[in-house]
């Protein structure tokens, strides 16, 4: 089944404890992206990757890191999480070569205490 998977789906952590949210797609898509969704602010793009070893900032990259060492995986790294990073995170991928026609994962709900 074609899908984007995210792990973990739910995470509660404490301020400053490094964490990684994994994202994997099995559709051989070149493009992948991360978003956060907050009430009243909607979905906002954090980082995106047009291909392996090619990443770029979205609208809200501060406090996040990404890497794209292989096509199927695009992990999101929070080196020192803070409470304002409490949010619902979505990973997405696309075969179109760009941001349109994206296929989203199920989401990761992160709480930083």
Which one, 75 or 103, has the nearer CB to another protein?
Answer: 103
Which one, 62 or 100, has the nearer CB to another protein?
Answer: 100
- The pair phi, psi for residue 85, each rounded to 5°, is -100, 5
Q: Which of 87, 96, 73 is nearest to 22 (CA)?
A: 73
What's the closest the beta carbon of residue 7 comes to another protein, in angstroms?
Answer: 14
User: How many whole angstroms from its chain centre is CA 54?
Assistant: 15
Residues 21-50 that bind another protein (CB under 8 A): 31, 33, 35, 40-45, 48-50
x/- string (CB under 8 A) for another protein, residues 66-95?
------------------------x-x---
Q: 70: phi > 0 → left, psi -120 to 50 → alpha, else beta; which?
A: beta
DSSP secondary structure string for all residues of 13-58: E-TT--EEEEEEESS--SEEEEEEEETTTEEEEEEEEEETTEEEE-
Among 11, 19, 52, 99, binds another protein (CB under 8 A): 99
Q: What is the dihedral of CA 53, 59, 62, 66, to 10 degrees?
A: -20
Which one, 75 or 104, has the nearer CB to another protein?
Answer: 104
Which one, 53 or 101, has the nearer CB to another protein?
Answer: 101
Binding residues for another protein (CB under 8 A): 4, 31, 33, 35, 40-45, 48-50, 56, 58-59, 90, 92, 97-107
């Amino acid at each position: 089944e074609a899908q984007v998977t995210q792990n973990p789906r739910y995470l509660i952590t404490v301020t400053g404890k490094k964490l990684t949210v994994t994202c994997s797609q099995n559709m051989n898509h070149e493009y992948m992206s991360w978003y956060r969704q907050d009430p009243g602010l909607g979905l906002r793009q954090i980082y995106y990757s047009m291909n392996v070893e090619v990443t770029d900032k979205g609208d809200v990259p501060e406090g996040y890191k990404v890497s794209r060492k292989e096509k199927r995986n695009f992990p999101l790294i929070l080196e020192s999480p803070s409470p304002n990073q409490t949010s619902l995170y979505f990973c997405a991928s696309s075969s179109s070569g760009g941001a349109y026609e994206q296929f989203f994962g199920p989401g990761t709900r992160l709480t930083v205490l």
